[in-house]
Each structure stands twice: as structure tokens, then as C-alpha cells.
Amino acid sequence: MSQTRWEAVLVGAVDETRDHIQGLAGAPVTLVQFGDYECPYCGAAYPIIKEVQARMGERLRFVFRNFPISTSHPHAEHAAEAAEAADAQGRFWEMHDLLYERQRHLTDPDLHGYAEELGLDVERFDKEMTEHVHEPRIHEDFMNGVRSGVNGTPTFYINGVRHDDSYEPEVLLAALERAAARQP
């Protein structure tokens, strides 16, 4: 029977029509994050991502996929659904950022409040939340993560290969720069 690979590889290429993406398709480096909105480590990574994005500019494409570990983080699943419901109204990244900035306040009433704050169509937002319209997509992301070797959150992939080192800004940036230098 097969051995578990040590160099874990992202399953499923980045899909411009489906994935949540910041940056250009032609960027030399793509950083994919599997994240959980309630996970404190993801909360710590959030400003670091902003920093590496600012420092690499157009050379970096950033992709966020959902990996809510609901058993450890009771609000993570609904928070992910809220971000997807915002995405349905073209406002994914604003909700994504708000959720990380207010990570300790992710109850259902909080999420409803964020939809109002962003000026979303709240009636539609509430309906999609109640009916769990976005749950299947979140599960797809989750299983994509499991099959890619995600073993906790956050897990990062740089040009498709899992980044097993620290995600402190200098370490992550150095890894991204190495990946950029390998591109033709």
C-alpha cells in the first residue's frame, strides 16, 4: 500500500472561476491558504498575508480555501458560510477580512451584523445562511484540503507544494521569493 508523501501537493489546480483569488493569474507565485475563521493561528497569519502581499505586489497571487474544523471551533462553519454568502454578492474579501479582524465575535447575530455593516442584501444573506446554501462548497474545499494533506490551520501551498516551514513574515516571504526565482 502506498506511503504517505512527505512533500504534500495541492490537489486541484487554482480555478479562476471558482476560487477566491487576489492577484493576477499570470503572477509567478501562487500562495494558497486553507483557513478557518475562528482558528487563532489563522488570525495571527491574517496580517502576515497582508504584509507579504504588500511586499510582493503583483508578483503574488493569493487564494483562500475553506478549512473549518468545526469540532474545535464551533463558529467556524457558519463564519465560512457568511463569507461565501458575501461572495454570492461579490463581496467575499471584505467579509473575509472583517471576520479575521473580529475573530472573537463570530456568533450568528455577529455575522448578520457584519452583513449589514458591509451593506449586503441582508434578506438574501439571511436566507442563504438559514438554508446553508454554501455548505456543499465549503465541504468541497475541506475535502480538497484533506486530500492535499492539510493537517491543521492555516496550511499554505506555494506554487502547489505544501509550505511546512513557519509562516513568520520573513520566513514566508523568503519561501515565496525562492519560488518566484525558480520561475522562468
Does 130 interact with other proteins (rule: CB under 8 A)? Answer: no
Rounded to a whole number of angstroms, the minimum distance from the CB of residue 35 to other proteins is: 14
Question: x/- site string to other proteins, residues 31 to 70, per CB under 8 A?
Answer: --------------------------------------xx
Closer residue to other proteins (CB): 2 or 17: 2
Minimum Å gap between C-beta 70 and other proteins is: 6
Beta bridge partners of 92: none
Return contacts of 17-23, CB within 8 angstroms, 24+ apart.
19/63, 19/64, 19/65, 20/63, 20/64, 20/65, 20/87, 20/92, 20/93, 20/96, 21/61, 21/62, 21/63, 22/53, 22/61, 22/62, 22/63, 22/93, 23/53, 23/58, 23/60, 23/61, 23/62
Residues 148 and 157: beta-carbon distance below 8 Å? yes
Q: Min. distance of Cβ 88 from other proteins in angstroms?
A: 24
Q: Which of 55, 72, 97, 171 binds other proteins (CB under 8 A)?
A: 72
Neighbours of 170 (CB within 10 A): 11
Per-residue x/- track, 139-178, other proteins (CB under 8 A): ---xx--xxxxxxx--------------------------
Site residues, other proteins (CB under 8 A): 1-4, 8, 69-72, 142-143, 146-152
